[in-house]
Amino acid sequence: MINVVIADDHPIVRAGLKQIITEEADIAVVGEASNGVELLNLVRHHDYNVVLLDLSMPGMDGLDVLKQLKIEKPHLPVVILTIHPESQYALRIIKAGASGYLTKASADEELIRAIRKVHRGGKYISPSLAEKIAFALDEDASRLPHETLSDREYQVLCLIGSGKTVSQVAESLALSVKTVSTYRARILEKMHLENNAELIHYAVQNGLVE
* Helical pair 127-137 and 86-95, crossing angle rounded to 10 deg: 60
pLDDT in the model for residue 49? 97
Query: Rg (Cα) of the chain, in Å, rounded?
Result: 18
**Rounded to an integer, what distance in angstroms lies between the CA atom of residue 11 and that of residue 17?**
10
User: 49 Cβ partners below 8 Å, 6+ apart?
Assistant: 2, 3, 4, 76, 77, 119
Q: Which CATH class is domain 2-137?
A: alpha beta
The candidate with the shortest Cα–Cα distance to 3, out of 22, 30, 24, is 30
pLDDT in the model for residue 138? 60
- pTM of the predicted protein model: 0.68
Please give the average pLDDT of every successive group of 10 residues along the chain, which has 210 residues.
95 93 94 95 96 87 90 94 73 88 82 94 81 62 77 92 93 91 92 90 86
With contact defined as beta carbons under 8 Å apart, do 64 and 36 qualify?
Answer: yes
Residue ranges per domain, the chain? Answer: 2-137, 145-205
Would you state the CATH architecture of domain 145-205? Orthogonal Bundle (1.10)
pLDDT in the model for residue 86? 61
The one-character DSSP state at 3 is E
- Edge to edge, the sheet with strand 50-54 lists 27-33, 2-7, 50-54, 78-82, 100-103
pLDDT in the model for residue 140? 47
